[in-house]
Amino acid sequence: MTSTTETKLNESQMLQCLIEGLQEKKGHSITHIDLSGIEDATTRHFLIANGNTPIQVTAIADAVREYAEKNAGQRPYNYDGYRNAQWIVLDYGYIYVHIFLPEERLRYNIEQLWADAPRTDIPDIY
Domains, the chain, in order of start with CATH, read 11-115 (3.30.460.10)
Q: What is the mean pLDDT of residues 77-104?
A: 97
pTM higher than the cut 0.85: yes
Quickly state the pLDDT bin for 8 (edges 50, 70, 90): confident
In sequence order, the 6+-apart residues with CB closer than 8 A to the CB of 96 are 43, 45, 46, 47, 89, 90
Residues 33 and 97: beta-carbon distance below 8 Å: no
